Amino acid sequence: MLNNKSVLITGGTGSFGRKMVEVILRYFTPRRLIVYSRDELKQYEMAKVFTRKQYPCMRYLIGDVRDKDRLFRAFNDVDFVIHAAALKHVPIAEYNPFEVIKTNILGSQNVIECAIDQGISKIIGLSTDKATSPVNLYGATKLCADKLFLAGSSYVGSRNCSISVVRYGNVLASRGSVIPLFLEQRASGVLSVTDPRMTRFWITLEEACHFVLFTFSVMTGREIFIPKLPSMALNEMASAIAPGCRIETIGIRPGEKLHEKMIAGDDARRVVEFEDHYRELAITHDRDGYIAAQGGAAVADGFEYCSHTNAWQLSPDELLRIIESLQMAPGGTGATPPLKTRWKIRT
């Protein structure tokens, strides 16, 4: 699918971007694989791992999604775009709202407009469970970005350009996540938990990359792709990682939810269910016509996909096997996560 094609990843030096580069190079031989980001130090460090000598397709471009002129130039002769650049730290977003809006909303608009004008074949924007019924600014900006991506098809005209979104849950053992914190606190005998009742959807970086590449192979545009994922409560996670340790409840932080949603009940009338994922369609889409052409089945009215009512719960043994594989893998990102779900990459 990506062989002899040009692929660009905005925010390409982040956790997801680095892993996506690794996965693409494992399965494909792209003509160019472009890392587009603002941080020259991260690019310098990444270029020592994915060198031009070993991977002649690699390109590293300094740029910001806020800078439309630079973005337009970077998109020249590109076939596929993965938009992963975002400001995503919830408390920092609340304190710096103008900056988050400039990157997450206006930056997404720049990506869409430049991609259309440069004739990009397929564009995927990365979303988050926090974009569903948002309670903080970060989630609100990502919801707005999702809407922009779904509406972007209205501006395509006669061009062959498909624009869709991928929305998934918390990434296991990513930088700043709760698992590295629990592993660090385990030695002290006390683990700090915001609220033991709190539940989250969980996915590994490897699986997130697989799902995005799967989405490229089936997307038609104006869809939000939502993987079926396991959930787990924080108290169960803490007990599995550090049995015998005391759990200290510190309270939910401002802007956090007790449970996360990836599909809200009011959106159910636009959702199509497949074996291992859901697709939420734009309000301009005909769901019955989409099902007739693409397959799948309509969900019941009022259906919600929530972390605390999710039938697939991650067991303590599964969690420990995942953590073991992530710690053993180079770079701590894991190559073969032992979760049940798999999305086939069409090579």
Q: With cut-offs at 50, 70 and 90, classify the pLDDT of residue 342.
A: low
Q: CA of 187: how far to CAs of 10, 183, 247, 250, 316, in Å? A: 38, 8, 13, 19, 19
Q: Which domains does the chain have, with CATH numbers?
A: 6-332 (3.40.50.720)
Q: Is 58 helix (H, G, I), strand (E, B) or coil?
A: strand
- The contacts of residue 69 (CB under 8 Å, 6+ apart) are none
Chain centroid to CA 1: how far? 20
d(CA 185, CA 244): 13
**Size of the chain, expressed as the number of residues it contains:** 347
Q: CA of 277: how far to CAs of 123, 151, 227, 274, in Å? A: 19, 22, 4, 5
d(CA 268, CA 177): 30
- pLDDT at 173 > cutoff 80: no
Q: With cut-offs at 50, 70 and 90, classify the pLDDT of residue 326.
A: confident
- pLDDT at 17 > cutoff 60: yes
Report pLDDT digits (tens) over 191-203: 998 898 999 999 9
pTM, full prediction: 0.93
Amino acid symbol at 347: T
- Asked if 101 contacts 141 with a C-beta cutoff of 8 angstroms, the reply is yes
Least confident range of 104-118, 211-225, 239-253, 274-288: 239-253
Q: With cut-offs at 50, 70 and 90, classify the pLDDT of residue 330.
A: very low
Q: Would strands 231-233 and 199-203 be described as parallel, antiparallel, or unpaired? A: antiparallel
Tell me what pLDDT residue 128 has.
96
Mean pLDDT in residue range 249-265:
92
Tell me what pLDDT residue 68 has.
98
Q: With cut-offs at 50, 70 and 90, classify the pLDDT of residue 27.
A: very high
Q: With cut-offs at 50, 70 and 90, classify the pLDDT of residue 324.
A: confident
Tell me what pLDDT residue 340 has.
45
Per-chain mean pLDDT for the chain: 92
Active-site residue, selected from the candidate residues 5, 19, 130, 228: 130
Report pLDDT digits (tens) over 127-160: 999 999 999 999 999 999 999 999 998 899 888 9
Report pLDDT digits (tens) over 40-96: 999 999 999 999 999 999 999 999 999 999 999 999 999 999 999 999 999 999 999
Tell me what pLDDT residue 333 has.
43
Q: Is 130 labeled as catalytic in the residue annotation? A: yes
d(CA 6, CA 4): 7
Contacts 24+ apart (CB under 8 A), 322-331: 322/172, 322/173, 322/204, 323/172, 323/173, 323/179, 323/183, 323/241, 326/172, 326/173, 326/204, 331/18
Q: Token pair for residue 146?
A: 């999702």
- Asked if 310 contacts 299 with a C-beta cutoff of 8 angstroms, the reply is no
Report pLDDT digits (tens) over 97-134: 999 999 999 999 999 999 999 999 999 999 999 999 99
